Amino acid sequence: MSTPLIELRDIRKSYGGVDTPKVEVVRGISLAIHPGEFVAIVGASGSGKSTLMNILGCLDRPTSGGYLFAGKDVAELDSDELAWLRREAFGFVFQGYHLIASGSAQENVEMPAIYAGTPTAERHARASALLDRLGLASRTGNRPHQLSGGQQQRVSIARALMNGGHIILADEPTGALDSQSGAEVMALLDELASQGHVVILITHDREVAARAKRVIEIRDGLIVSDSANERSAAIGAPGLQAEDLRQRQDQGATHSGAWKGEMVESLQAAWRIMWINRFRTALTLLGIVIGVASVVVMLAVGEGSKRQVMAQMAAFGSNILYLGASAPTLREPAGLITLDDVAAVGSLPQVKMIMPVIGDKLMVRYGNNNQQFYVGGNNTHFCEIFNWPVVQGSFFTEADEQAAAAVAVIGQKVKEKLLGAQVDPIGQYILVENVPFQVVGILAGKGASSGDQDSDERIVVPYSAAAIRLFGSRDPEYVTIATADSRRVAETEAAIDRLMLKLHHGKRDYELSNDAALIQAEARTQNTLSLMLGSIAAISLLVGGIGVMNIMLMTVRERTREIGIRMATGARQRDILRQFLSEAVLLSMVGGLTGIALALLIGGVLLLGNIAVAFSLVAVLGAFACAVVTGVVFGFMPARKAARLDPVKALTSE
Ligand code: ADP
Ligand code: MG
């Protein structure tokens, strides 16, 4: 006689024992089932039939006793190998159908094949063919709640057959059905048995049991009769032999499945669940949305203002040094930069041009129009040092400087605001603190390129004229120096420092600075801002992550039964892990994308408000990656919790 497919040796199962009284539900059952058999296990309610079936189907482990599947001890199999058995060897049909509520009939039927790694096209075709064969061709797209009980049970039979269903384990398959549907289901099982499937039918109904070729009766966890012992049980079985199955298992348990199909299915299922709970999901995702949006906006604003500063620098030249007075210590007064200093520094070979500056906001009048503008005394190097040309008329000359001539070159805004568009400004007289100056030139508009609109509200007059006629002081407020070589700014600075130290008798009562220092100062303020926004982002992401974890824990609890069904159809622990992890990742991906969209929206609003923003792809991708990582990190715990659920407990949970 061939090796039995299933052999139980003194199987016992007891529940309780710790805080509840220990009850032994299966009390020493031994039986062998051979290929091709149609067995009914019959007994009163509570006699231990379902418990026995769960053990037979490897959904549960016995407390003691041996279970050999195709001659191999099941107790030695790891969880993946048990999953293989459930997926490839068994097909379950339950009294309560156990279909996944959110999936269509077709999707429910395809599920075991997904875990088996069957290619998509083959899977679709087989599921359709099975549904067609069971008379459900027109119902493939319906979800379980749109099907009658009989139809649902036929879907679950199709699911049991999806991967072959060599051993059909049917626990009260007709228990919830009307007699007509029940008869149909029984006819189906008859047919399957005659085609070579091993059918193990569990029922409390003797009439139903009578259709099987072999009837095992159990009472209080013990076999009281077995018709196989009365008749000869050996059958020239047409079905799969035990050896074949075992061989297949040895090959199959190591296969890793088609991750692509599983991934697509996981994502589809995840999306469905998310959509069903969209309000709750949206609320939970706020943390991630805010986190991602603040990272992206922060970096965009930072980058925008940096670019603005750079533009200003480019507009004004970057080889410029500034020399001003400064107090050497807190107790001493600031020094005085004199025109003699200017002359001395100007004669250094490293210095290309030098320009003393004196200026202030002064009241300026033209006709009846009175307005304040910055009026600066500069010399003829102004245009070159600031890279700022005259567009109309001409700049004042060296002769004007020598003569302290009352001439002025005005900025674009001064022209617009003070003189208006109609008058030709050249040759007009304006009163600066009641001193008449004749306009000789108009400066090009600077604001557009530098972003600093105030720079065009400026009047330039000869230094000598400003000193004598406007400020009554000959000493410059500060000195602007253009270095001869823009790559040697630091060297030039050192040379000037040495000279000044000598001129000021060893007292450093002056200060040298350059644009690089300005940039650094700017960068420092920006860093503080970035740090602040960065911590908001980090906290939001953390809150978002906790949100994801919370929603995933809730999902796992709500869907424990679904997890059980998936395990019964052959999902491995890692399939369940992947399923729930991909839900967490999808969740945080949606949060990340929403955050990016929100950031772009905020950026648009800021741009309308004239704030410079510059989005960088790196920042956007980085923030998105952060969101996904958050999903993985915080989704892992709930996903692992789901994967480690006990199949029977999950399946029988409410
Ligand atoms: P049947 O399917 O024959 O109606 P079951 O196998 O479902 O019977 O249950 C047999 C007995 O085991 C019942 O008395 C039931 O109360 C008990 N039982 C089943 N599952 C558990 C469990 N998880 N914990 C404690 N007792 C259980
Ligand atoms: Mg039962």
Report the amino acid identity of residue 603: G
Measured distance CA(301)–CA(472) in Å, rounded: 44
Among 256-260, 345-349, 548-552, 586-590, the least confident range: 256-260
Residues 428 and 455 sit within 8 Å (Cβ to Cβ): no
Q: What is the pLDDT of residue 126?
A: 94
- 253 pLDDT exceeds 60? no
Identify the residue with better confidence: 227 or 522: 227
For residue 403 the two structure tokens come to 């003569």
- Burial of 606-645, coded b for 16+ CB within 10 Å and e otherwise, reads beeeeebbbbeeebbeebbebbbebbbebbbebbebbbeb
Q: Is the CB of 352 under 6 A from ligand 1?
A: no
For residue 586 the two structure tokens come to 């999808």
The number of the ligand 1 atom at minimal distance from the alpha carbon of 16 is: 25
* Ligand 1 center from residue 46 Cα (angstroms): 6
pLDDT of 332-359, one tens digit each? 888 888 999 999 999 999 899 999 999 9
Residues 6 or more apart in contact with residue 37 via CB below 8 angstroms: 198, 199, 213, 214, 233, 235, 237
387 conformational bin, left if phi > 0, alpha if psi -120 to 50, beta if neither: left
Identify the residue with better confidence: 220 or 314: 220
E-assigned strands of 248-404?
Answer: 320-325, 351-366, 369-378, 390-393
Q: What is the pLDDT of residue 594?
A: 93
The number of the ligand 1 atom at minimal distance from the alpha carbon of 54 is: 6
Q: Is 155 exposed, middle or buried (0-12, 13-18, 19+ CB in 10 A)?
A: buried
The pLDDT-based confidence of 535 (bands split at 50, 70, 90) is: confident
- 392 pLDDT exceeds 70? yes
The pLDDT-based confidence of 611 (bands split at 50, 70, 90) is: confident
**Nearest protein CA to atom 14 of ligand 1, as residue:** 46
Q: What is the pLDDT of residue 220?
A: 93
Measured distance CA(240)–CA(300) in Å, rounded: 66
Q: Is the CB of 49 under 6 A from ligand 1?
A: yes
**pLDDT over 70 for what percent of the chain?**
90
Instruction: Identify the nearest ligand to the CA of 54 by its number.
Output: 1
Q: In what order do the strands lie in the sheet with 72-73?
A: 23-33, 6-15, 64-69, 72-73
Measured distance CA(229)–CA(216) in Å, rounded: 10
* Ligand 2 center from residue 41 Cα (angstroms): 11
Question: Highest mean pLDDT range out of 189-193, 323-327, 480-484?
Answer: 189-193
For residue 93 the two structure tokens come to 């049909």
Measured distance CA(436)–CA(6) in Å, rounded: 114
Q: Is the CB of 319 under 6 A from ligand 1?
A: no
From the list 459, 496, 467, 239, the residue with the least C-alpha distance to 371 is 459
| Mean pLDDT over the full length of the chain | 86
pTM score, whole prediction: 0.68
H, E, C per residue of 262-292: HHHHHHHHHHHHHHHCHHHHHHHHHHHHHHH
Q: Is the CB of 50 under 6 A from ligand 1?
A: yes
Q: Is 384 exposed, middle or buried (0-12, 13-18, 19+ CB in 10 A)?
A: middle
* Ligand 2 center from residue 530 Cα (angstroms): 63
**Within a 10 A sphere around the Cβ of 45, how many other Cβ atoms?**
8
pLDDT of 544-581, one tens digit each? 888 888 888 888 888 899 999 999 999 999 889 988 88
For residue 330 the two structure tokens come to 């807190």
- 9 pLDDT exceeds 90? yes
Measured distance CA(115)–CA(487) in Å, rounded: 66
- 520 pLDDT exceeds 70? no
Report the amino acid identity of residue 213: K
Measured distance CA(327)–CA(344) in Å, rounded: 21
Q: Is the CB of 221 under 6 A from ligand 1?
A: no
From the list 386, 400, 357, the residue with the least C-alpha distance to 482 is 386
H, E, C per residue of 7-52: EEEEEEEEECCCCCCCEEEEEEEEEEECCCCEEEEECCCCCCHHHH
Among 425-429, 508-512, 527-531, 639-643, the least confident range: 527-531
Among 79-93, 213-227, 231-245, 362-376, the least confident range: 231-245
Pocket-testing residue among 11, 13, 15, ligand 1, by greatest number of atoms within 8 A of Cβ: 15
Domains and CATH numbers, the chain: 6-257 (3.40.50.300), 270-311+521-651 (no CATH), 320-514 (no CATH)
Residues 365 and 411 sit within 8 Å (Cβ to Cβ): no
Q: What is the pLDDT of residue 564?
A: 93
Q: Is the CB of 51 under 6 A from ligand 1?
A: yes
- 237 pLDDT exceeds 70? no
As a whole number, mean pLDDT of residues 414-419 equals 90
**Within a 10 A sphere around the Cβ of 282, how many other Cβ atoms?**
14
Among 46-60, 143-157, 272-286, 420-434, the least confident range: 272-286
The pLDDT-based confidence of 388 (bands split at 50, 70, 90) is: confident
Identify the residue with better confidence: 16 or 83: 83
The pLDDT-based confidence of 236 (bands split at 50, 70, 90) is: very low
**Nearest protein CA to atom 15 of ligand 1, as residue:** 46
Measured distance CA(189)–CA(199) in Å, rounded: 7
Q: Which residue has the tokens 């549907």?
A: 181
- 618 pLDDT exceeds 60? yes
pLDDT of 167-178, one tens digit each? 999 999 998 889
pLDDT of 73-118, one tens digit each? 999 998 888 999 999 999 999 989 999 988 899 999 999 998 888 8
Pocket-testing residue among 12, 42, 50, 94, ligand 1, by greatest number of atoms within 8 A of Cβ: 50
Q: What is the pLDDT of residue 250?
A: 63
